[in-house]
Structure 1
Amino acid sequence: MLKATLEQWRMFKAVADAGGFNQAAEQVHKSQSSVHHAVQKLENALGVPLFESEGRRIKLTGPGELMLRRANFLLNEAQKTEAVAHSMQSGAETVLRVAVDIIFPSEVLYAVLDKVSEDFPLLRIEVEEAVLSGANSLLKAGNVDLAISALPISEGGQQEDAGNGFSEDLCQIGFIAAAHPEHPLHQLGRPLHTDDLKAHRQIVVRDSSTERKTDYGWLGAEQRWTVSHIRTSIDIICKGLGFAWLPLAMIEPYINAGQLKPLPMESGGCRNAMLYLNFEDGDCLGPAARTFIGELRYRTMALPTAESIDSSLTKT
């Protein structure tokens, strides 16, 4: 038999978050006495004090801090359980929200979305483009249901919730160092070392997460321009204003048109980045989300491998 109720745990968390009983009462729209009574009953049930006075304020005791961590997990799981029940009751979801890293091949994404819309004609689909940890930030905030991310859910600010989420390797994306054919790096007439790059402007793409933890690609150049989208980076280097590491699939048309040319690196000119499929709780996903995942896995099976990317670069 449980000694405490979810409501008591909720009142305890409210007091801890608000820093006092009066403040908590305002936030949960209950009287101060009912909040105080709930916390007092919880303390009696547990047999340990959860708060102590510090002047005119209260603060958590040592046991209280431990109990708050457990309460956060407990209340979060209770909320997820209710969400699962709601999903089963309502059937197919009415909206599917997906965060997609901008390096994911757009033609694959469009084919997956088209299939989902075909199976669920009334479904609204919302796509958020993101960079690096940006997709995981959207997932963590509850703004999307699924994330195609350059980082597994245990990275990019997600380490504290690693046990509550799910990540799977989805596909590899090949990056190559490239510049305009008339760029000074192409005029050296020999294989390039990373030291050769340092004297030239690199174009990098900024992390779209609010924390902005990192940027795409090698960052050894003395001069850098930082942009928010790979399309901007491509446009800049097509004008001969710098070099960048860019997804081969995105710049192949520009290479074929003679607007871009892979840099003749002695080594390291082709790099592969893994993309991950991330979501918080599979039990909360509806049939449209599951269809999206199934189609996504199927479509990404046909994407080029690391070996074929290297081979394509060699022939260029």
Structure 2
Amino acid sequence: MLDGVTLDQLRMLIAIADTGSFTAASKHVQRAQSAVSQSIATLEDQLGVTLFDRSTRKPRLTEAGEVIVAEARMVIVRAARLRATANALAGGAPGHLTIAIGIVVPVDPMVEVLDTFRDAFPGVSLRVLRVDIGGAPDLVSSGQADLGIAGAISLTGYDEDAFDRHAVGSADIAIVAAPDHPLAQLGRPLTDADVQDHRQLVPVTRGDFTNRLVHDTWEVGDLTLRCRMLRRGLGWGTAPVAEIAEDLARGTLVPLQLEARSEETLRVPLLAFTRTDRATGPAIDWLIRRLRDVFGDAGS
């Protein structure tokens, strides 16, 4: 029954439904009115239903016509996606992409990037992984992720030639504790001796680096859980400012300043990186450019 139905016919049908007349629709699709009328009559024969009630001055969609128009709109959308997918694949874009995102990467700007990626590459499916410190380069290095986005420190210990690295912006990290934590009560920059007596909550780390400043540490891989533990006073530690902005504003977490550091926050460079032995293609190249646009001011 659908043999011979064309996208052109469906576009004419939608045009009539939207404009309210065959005359207006013919101008919209830039076809003669007689051609539009004949096309719709042929479509009705092909589908075996009457689409318009022609007994009134202006054509009115029948009940069946309303259903068919709704389906036609979805077909047109799917056809557009098919065309975009084919164009992307012809240009070298992959059918799917895995991105590994470090916990230091601010979430809201990342979502903005992914939102625009959806429109630019509608046929590319994404797998997005948020991972601990060092997790992104591990996944890219092993081939489990096509693109990594993380703080520069995550790449410590990796061969300079292992990744193509692209600076995309920065993110701020703060040392914090609950307001009733003993360290928060001191009211001055903290010495090494001060922090040694208190538990530090640290991320689960991978690679040849550490951010532990004391011997008494708890490793907490989930950032949300670690922030809740910090609020509860179970220890002191670092957290991305973007994740705890509301806590800092409300005072449920307060910044700590180390005597060895002049600033309360540490600005961490953000890198996007891929394996040097793998071609990137248009989708990853586009993502890196977009990351630079969006993350350039994310840490400020």
Q: Same fold (TM over 0.5)?
A: yes
- Write the deviation string for residues 58-113 of structure 1: whole angstroms up to 9, x where unpaired: xxxxxxxxxxxxxxxxxxxxxxxxxxxxx986743211111111110001110111
Distance change in 2, residues 1:119/1:169 (3 Å)? closer
Work out the CA distance in 2 between the residues paired with 1:261 and 1:226.
21
Work out the CA distance in 2 between the residues paired with 1:213 and 1:138.
16
Unaligned runs of 5+ in 2: 1-87
Picking from 219, 237, 240, the partner of 1:244 is 237
Alignment check: 8 A CA contact 1:152 1:167 kept: no
Q: Match of 2:122, SS? A: coil
Letter in 2 for 1:170: V
Letter in 2 for 1:222: H
Q: CA deviation at 1:296?
A: 0.8
* 1:271 alignment partner in structure 2: 266
Higher Rg: 2
Where do 1:214-225 residues align within 5 Å? 214-215=209-210, 217=211, 219-225=212-218
Distance change in 2, residues 1:282/1:213 (3 Å)? closer
Work out the CA distance in 2 between the residues paired with 1:112 and 1:238.
30
Alignment check: 8 A CA contact 1:133 1:151 kept: no
* 2:119 alignment partner in structure 1: 118
Alignment check: 8 A CA contact 2:147 2:274 kept: yes
Q: Match of 2:161, SS? A: helix
- Write the deviation string for residues 264-300 of structure 1: whole angstroms up to 9, x where unpaired: 4445243232221111249722322222111111111
Picking from 267, 274, 291, the partner of 2:286 is 291
Distance change in 2, residues 1:236/1:94 (3 Å)? same
Work out the CA distance in 2 between the residues paired with 1:285 and 1:95.
13
* 2:3 alignment partner in structure 1: none
Distance change in 2, residues 1:297/1:202 (3 Å)? same
* 1:55 alignment partner in structure 2: none
Where do 1:1-316 residues align within 5 Å? 91-151=92-152, 155-156=156-157, 158-159=158-159, 162-163=160-161, 165-207=163-205, 209=206, 212-215=207-210, 217=211, 219-268=212-261, 269-281=264-276, 284-305=279-300
> % of aligned pairs identical?
27
Alignment check: 8 A CA contact 2:97 2:146 kept: yes
Letter in 2 for 1:172: S
Work out the CA distance in 2 between the residues paired with 1:221 and 1:163.
33
Q: CA deviation at 1:252?
A: 1.3
Q: Match of 1:163, SS? A: coil
Unaligned runs of 5+ in 1: 1-86, 306-316
Distance change in 2, residues 1:190/1:290 (3 Å)? closer
Q: Match of 1:284, SS? A: coil
Size of the aligned set, in residue pairs, is: 211
Q: Match of 1:259, SS? A: coil
Normalised TM-score (structure 1) = 0.60
Letter in 1 for 2:118: S
Q: CA deviation at 1:232?
A: 1.9
Alignment check: 8 A CA contact 2:106 2:240 kept: no
Letter in 1 for 2:116: K
Work out the CA distance in 2 between the residues paired with 1:298 and 1:190.
38
Alignment check: 8 A CA contact 1:132 1:214 kept: no
Work out the CA distance in 2 between the residues paired with 1:224 and 1:153.
20
Normalised TM-score (structure 2) = 0.63
Letter in 1 for 2:141: K
Alignment check: 8 A CA contact 2:168 2:288 kept: no
Work out the CA distance in 2 between the residues paired with 1:224 and 1:154.
23
Alignment check: 8 A CA contact 2:176 2:237 kept: yes
* 1:84 alignment partner in structure 2: none
Work out the CA distance in 2 between the residues paired with 1:153 and 1:177.
18
Q: Match of 1:288, SS? A: helix
Work out the CA distance in 2 between the residues paired with 1:290 and 1:168.
10
Q: CA deviation at 1:152?
A: 7.3
Work out the CA distance in 1 between the residues paired with 2:171 and 2:247.
17
Alignment check: 8 A CA contact 1:99 1:139 kept: yes
